[in-house]
Chains A and B, each alone.
Chain A
């Protein structure tokens, strides 16, 4: 089976890659493009570790076929920081110690970025529901929720 040629916009840059027809977007990002920030967890859409944003929608990259990316706009964890400056969510995750082993962290931060994009002022309950598809076996979630809510508060102060 010949490889398929796919062109997409990834983290604001034009990108192209070759993939198998049945390959996942997760595999194409990690193995084809070297964007290993997006993690593979369960591979069945249950854990959120591979969360990416495709055309403005939060999706599990393990349940998207790589050829589906043709012409789409994709944001991965690598696209959130600007140069050496961390994204506010990344900074707040550090300040709140919202990670331990770190495997779930890129998925949480991408999912939280999608939340704050859709809802800049989420309640704690909205935040917990939105992030319910991201599993963390270390932190007990509380520090993650605090980091996200603090980022939202910080963004609002910065916007004034």
Chain B
């Protein structure tokens, strides 16, 4: 017989105490990964620590510094947030791609990061926006760039007793925007074969002054592609620059071969999606 406890702490400190006291406990946010893993026997936690009763874990604040997104905030709250959609359309479209309406009612960005799938849709969009994970543990608070949070499929930097409480995203500069695209074999609700996010900053003449590119599902963790960003900076995002960025992403990809796509296909698609996402980000930044 299972002896799984259910805990619903009301504060981060209480949650950290519970997690530190029991290494086999798991944080429960939306449960769209964890409860499936529990039912299929992949994970047998000794306790579910439901963090959705902690106000700062389900809260969105946007101020002069940028966004603070509570890690367990459900996707539907994010996609309905008008200011969030205006400032980070690519991030919101990545969130919106995850699962059905029902899954959107439960799943969270923090959960997406902690599940640490190489194909997680939000990761690349967060990375290009220079997002940071705010982690609280028995030793206090630390922050880490999103690209360093997952260290392998299913594994993160979180140590015993540590909790991902929020994601912080700096406010974008003027004429900056982002986009995220993924390829799936169906029209909706599938796992990315490859994904790419791009953020670009343009000057008043439409010349790209800063860029970030990240690709997903083509390596054990999401990859930042500095060479693709370099190909965009200094250009007007013309076809030649977009082509160079695509080539850089294809070169950086180190995908596996599996039933959802071959190595060769994923490598090509990582480039195609980079080019298209850069083009969309640029058109948004021009508005």
Chain A residues in the interface with B (C-beta under 8 A): 1, 4, 20-22, 24, 43-45, 48, 51, 54, 57-60, 62-65, 67-68, 70, 111, 114-115, 129-134
Q: Which residues of B contact A60 (CB under 8 A)?
A: 102-103, 106
A24, B35: Cβ atoms under 8 Å?
A: yes
Contact with A along B177-201 (1 / 0, CB 8 A): 0000000000011000000000000
Q: How many residues of B contact A (CB 8 A)?
A: 30
Interface residue B8 (Cβ < 8 Å from any Cβ of A): yes
A sample of 25 cross-chain residue pairs with beta-carbon separation below 8 angstroms, ordered by A number, consists of: A1-B4, A1-B5, A21-B5, A22-B4, A22-B6, A43-B39, A45-B32, A54-B105, A57-B105, A58-B101, A60-B102, A60-B103, A63-B30, A65-B28, A65-B31, A65-B48, A67-B6, A68-B8, A129-B188, A130-B101, A131-B101, A132-B100, A133-B100, A133-B101, A133-B189
Rounded to whole Å, the gap between the CB of A124 and the closest CB of chain B is: 15
Q: How far apart sit A54 and B106, CA to CA, in the bound complex (Å)?
A: 10
- Chain B residues with Cβ under 8 A from A63's Cβ? 30-32, 35-36, 103, 106
Asked if A59 meets B102 with Cβ closer than 8 Å, knowing A1-B3, A70-B8, the reply is yes
Listed residue (B36, B52, B76, B101) with the most chain A CB atoms within 10 angstroms of its CB: B101
B81 CB to nearest A CB, Å: 14
Neighbouring A residues of B35 by C-beta, 8 Å: 24, 45, 62-63, 65
CB-CB contacts below 8 Å: B1-54 with A: 1-6, 8, 28, 30-32, 35-36, 38-40, 48, 50, 52
Residues in A with CB closer than 8 Å to B28 are: 65
Contacts of B74 in A (CB 8 A): 57
